[in-house]
Amino acid sequence: MTQRIDYQKQSPELFRKFLAFSMAFEQSAIEEPIRDLVDIRASQINGCAFCLDMHIKAATIHGERPLRLHHVVIWRESNLFSPRERAALAWTEALTRLPADGVPNSVYERVRTQLSELELSDLTFLVMAINAWNRVNIAFQTVPGTFDKAYGIDKSGLA
C-alpha cells in the first residue's frame, strides 16, 4: 500500500481553519445528538472508515445508545428515531448523494416540517462539513483510531 501524505502537516493553516469551522457547530441550532447522527450517516454513505470510527466513539461518549448507533444505517425502517431526527437524516442523505436534479421538493418539504429556517441552514453547513472531512480522510487514507487520544475519544471504551 502506498503511504499517503499527512494533510494536517502539509496544510496546517487550512486544517486549523477548517477544524475551527467544524467546532463552530457546537454553538449551532442543531443539537449534539442530531449532529452525531448526521456525521455517522454521511460517513456511512461515503465509506469513510476514519470518520465513522471517530463519530461512533464520540456519540458513545455523548451518551448515544448502542442500538440506535446500529440502526443509523436502517433509520427508515427503525422506530428508534424521532421525526426531527428522521428529517435530519433524510436531508443528510439528499445532500450527500446529491441527485442530478438536486434535492427533491418532497424531501425539502418534509424537512421544513421539522426544522426552522435557521436549523435547516445550520444543518446544511453541518452536512457540507462532514462530507468534506470524509473526502479528505478517504483521499489520504487516514487510519481509524489514529487521533483518538488527541481528540479525546479514547474515553469511549471502543478501542
pLDDT band of 2, cuts 50, 70, 90:
confident
Task: Give Cα separations from 151 to 1, 13, 55, 80, 112 (angstroms).
Answer: 26, 18, 11, 28, 34
pLDDT tens digits, 109-156: 999 999 999 999 999 999 999 999 999 999 999 999 999 999 999 999
Split at pLDDT 50, 70, 90, the class of 11 is very high
Q: Quickly name the fold that domain 31-148 has.
A: AhpD-like (1.20.1290)
pLDDT at 3: 87
Report domain extents, the chain: 31-148
Model confidence, pTM: 0.96
The pLDDT value given to residue 159:
83
Per DSSP, the three-state class of 87 is: helix
Query: Distance between CA 4 and CA 91 in Å, rounded?
Result: 32
Q: What's 73's DSSP letter?
A: G
CA atoms within 13 Å, Cβ hemisphere of 91: 29
Q: Is the pLDDT of residue 28 over 80?
A: yes
- Residue 38 confidence class, pLDDT cut points 50, 70, 90: very high
pLDDT tens-digit series, residues 40-50:
999 999 999 99
DSSP letter string over 23-45?
A: HGGGGSSS-HHHHHHHHHHHHHH
What are the distances in angstroms from CA 92 to CA 38, 41, 56, 138?
Answer: 6, 7, 17, 18
